[in-house]
Structure 1
């Protein structure tokens, strides 16, 4: 037999094409979303990150420093200009309204930082 049968090769390629067409839109999500309590909560392995927290009374914390909104925006802009590959690990209390969290995310993205991770507390496992 001197000819190679191309039918199985074409079938495999079409299956791979369908798999990539289905999985490509799922890979475009830029936010890794963890709920406040989750079984899947694991610490990040990213070496370069900054911690951002918002308390129920609306106070903003950048790493260990408590800042008001204008100072926070200025500091996050400086960090964004210095390194756009920084991951922002966002910790928000459950009682914080979604609008405040969305506004905070907007400030972070306006500073050029697009890698945002929501930090969740690990759920207590059953005995």
Structure 2
């Protein structure tokens, strides 16, 4: 799993570079960049918000957590969760900046919305299934 997350970070870095680079990629590649950027952005914001939300519920004693997991919960609530949210917002801002440089924005906008909604649906399904 560590190798998979490492590769995802490399792909995310390359995606970020491709979004901010001033180059005409072509319509198909621009749409693919929008799909991936909005998908990654929404997924990161959602994931981080779940960390923060669950941690705040634990801190408010609304939900219970095993005592040995409380220090880890604080890390996720106050450090990792906000970083995930910040990374997701950064991807979304980069996608919007990239979109503003494109001549044909309509198709890329629709593709970006599909990426964002698809990521949200996938994450919600995994959450309901108890996978993530």
- TM-score interval, normalised by the smaller of the two chains: under 0.3
The structure with the largest strand share of the pair is: 1
The structure with the largest helix share of the pair is: 2
Give 1 or 2 for the bigger CA radius of gyration: 1
Which has the higher relative contact order, 1 or 2, with Cα contacts under 8 A spaced 6 or more apart?
2
